[in-house]
Structure 1
Amino acid sequence: MRVDGPEHAPAVVLLHGFGGSMHWWDRVTVQLADRFRVIRVDLIGHGSSAQAAAACRPDDHARAVVEVFDHLGVNRATVVGHSMGATVAIAVAEASNSVSRLVLIGEGPDASTFSLPKVTKVLRVPVLGHALRRFAPAPIVRLGYTTKAFAAGFRFETAFDDPDQLLEDDRAVAFATFRHCQLGKEAYARARPLDERLRDLALPVLVIFGAQDRMWNPRASIARYRDVPGTRIEVIDQAGHSPQIETPQEVAHLIGEYAIADT
């Protein structure tokens, strides 16, 4: 966990996606911390967080985030999530009355608008997947991200202060975490799609997609979210699946503008 910004400023909580860490928000944080209390959390089994094989469903992540709220005395916050972190953000809102607004980045309502990478199916196979994740050469790992996590041609090496950050974050995720987190997230949306959960929550929601997202179908996902009352949609033309990395200034502006309206 890391906290930046004035202690008594409005709270903005940033949740990274699968295989990431709090550092995926570094360049957004520096643009928000002058006027918000920015709270970043490494989700279970990611970054510097403890590994937990089975306990990494969205509800498990949400309980950990609510514990952070309690520890920091947060009773009102805009919660922002990218990819898997967006699903966790919804789970946090279901678990805590402290969530006043949601910002969901690069996450569709359910598997019907998702394109599961072929390699992911292989990586989930217990013995084979474990070996591949442990011994895959760095160029192969990077290739996996460049073909799905960003728009074509994006140079992610310059997107982090540490050019090896993406690789380090991927290596930090154990095989059991990799498998259980993904299966748990899918089961959560299968039980009730995210757009249905948002209708029940009845919170203001900002949905952000990169027009060049290669993991989710932005148009199909947006069509579903548009039917949820109180939802605002923003599409960033030059971004792919990870707008907070690809276009941090634009994402920070959208988050800041949206969160300040709650004060």
Structure 2
Amino acid sequence: MSASYELQSVELHKDVLRYVDIGDGPPVILVHGLLGSHKSWGPQIERLSDRYRVIAPDLFGHGDSDKPSGDYSLSSHAATIRDLMEYLNIDSAPLVGHSLGGGIVMQMTYLFPERVDRLVLVSSGGLGPEVSLLLKAATLPGSELVLPMLASDWFRRNTEGVLARLGKWGVPVEPGPSMAETWRSFRSVADRSTREAFLASTRAVVGPRGQTVSAKQHFEKFESIPSLLIWGGKDRMIPAKHADNIRREVPNSRVEIFPDAGHFPQLDEPDFFFRLLDEFLAANHTDSSDADHSAPTEITPAAMPLQRP
């Protein structure tokens, strides 16, 4: 963790939630995904804190927060975000959700719409059934016995060796920030309490055939909320084609695909991601004279909007 900020703590329902609270501007809340933490946002926290008050919690069951047994459903996580906002005296804010966090912030729009000013979904869950084989396997009986081995240093070393050989054979394997963050996050399941929370969170939204929770029946909610979707074109965890589902149903939503990014576009393309997010957030604060409001297609050649049919 960067030395320029430290984690704060709050007790919610007898469990301790850890979170980052940095910056003095308008609030923005960043919600990470499965096995993630505030660290999943990389440099975005500090960069955003120059203009915004950035709140980045470690969800219960993740990072440095407590890992209680119990409810890890989307609605439970959404209630945690609501309670944190209440504690911090934040009536409403833009919500930015990555992966599972995308499902959580969408749940906020259904349960607590008055809390959501703007919605940013990054490689979000809940927009289609397809998901990686790893997550589907985690829902199967006995996966809790296999996960510790998969999180071991031995497995990591051997897998990295296989990936290196595949690269030499011409198979497109591209190690980078997304892969590094995936390994870092996945290694945390070696801890029993983290593993149990991961399985509970995963099984709440994924089954053997893919994602079991869908936002499609709630798409009309997004028509009144400015929405931005960001995806990595090389996402192997949740495919970028899911962005099409909301784009078709909510024509006013904005979709940006980073062709060379993986599941963590905020890490793979940090500069492009920041400029895009800052522009979208600044649209709520047009009196910020120092904000860069350049057109989205001018941000970078790597940030390419999907073409409408």
Does TM-score exceed 0.5, indicating one fold?
yes
The 3-state SS of whatever aligns with 1:13 is strand
Measure, in 2, the Cα distance between the counterparts of 1:66 and 1:141.
37
Of 25, 37, 59 in structure 2, the residue corresponding to residue 43 of structure 1 is 59
Q: Does 1:156 align with 2:177?
A: yes
Look up the equivalent residue of 1:70 and give its one-letter code: E
Larger radius of gyration: 2
- Assess, with a 3 A threshold, how the Cα gap between structure 1 residues 4 and 152 changes in structure 2: closer, same or farther: farther
- Name the residue aligned to 2:196: 176
- Name the residue aligned to 1:76: 92
- Assess, with a 3 A threshold, how the Cα gap between structure 1 residues 218 and 168 changes in structure 2: closer, same or farther: closer
Measure, in 1, the Cα distance between the counterparts of 2:188 and 2:27.
25
TM-superposed CA distance for 1:216, in Å, is: 2.5
TM-superposed CA distance for 1:190, in Å, is: 4.1
Normalising by structure 2, report the TM-score.
0.71
- Name the residue aligned to 1:197: 218
Normalising by structure 1, report the TM-score.
0.83
- Name the residue aligned to 1:134: 148
Q: Contact conserved, 1:212 with 1:238, CA < 8 A, in 2?
A: yes
Deviations 1:227-248 (A, max 9, x none): 2143101111110111112112
Look up the equivalent residue of 1:100 and give its one-letter code: D
Look up the equivalent residue of 1:215 and give its one-letter code: M
Q: How does 1:74-153 map to 2 (within 5 A)?
A: 74-96=90-112, 97-112=114-129, 114-117=130-133, 119-126=134-141, 128-136=142-150, 137-138=152-153, 140=155, 143=159, 152-153=173-174
The 3-state SS of whatever aligns with 1:73 is coil
TM-superposed CA distance for 1:51, in Å, is: 1.4
**Which sections of structure 1, spanning at least 5 residues, go unmatched?**
none
Q: How does 1:49-68 map to 2 (within 5 A)?
A: 49-68=65-84
Q: Contact conserved, 1:31 with 1:249, CA < 8 A, in 2?
A: no
Of 7, 23, 34 in structure 2, the residue corresponding to residue 5 of structure 1 is 23
- Name the residue aligned to 2:15: none
Of 34, 39, 48 in structure 2, the residue corresponding to residue 18 of structure 1 is 34
Look up the equivalent residue of 1:194 and give its one-letter code: A
Look up the equivalent residue of 1:37 and give its one-letter code: R
Measure, in 2, the Cα distance between the counterparts of 1:103 and 1:241.
15
Measure, in 1, the Cα distance between the counterparts of 2:233 and 2:39.
23
Larger % of helix: which?
1
Report which stretch shifted further, 31-40 or 102-111.
Answer: 102-111
Question: RMSD of the alignment, in Å?
Answer: 2.9
Look up the equivalent residue of 2:185 and give its one-letter code: L
Measure, in 1, the Cα distance between the counterparts of 2:179 and 2:146.
26
TM-superposed CA distance for 1:26, in Å, is: 2.8
Kindly, what percent of the aligned residue pairs are identical?
25
TM-superposed CA distance for 1:170, in Å, is: 4.4
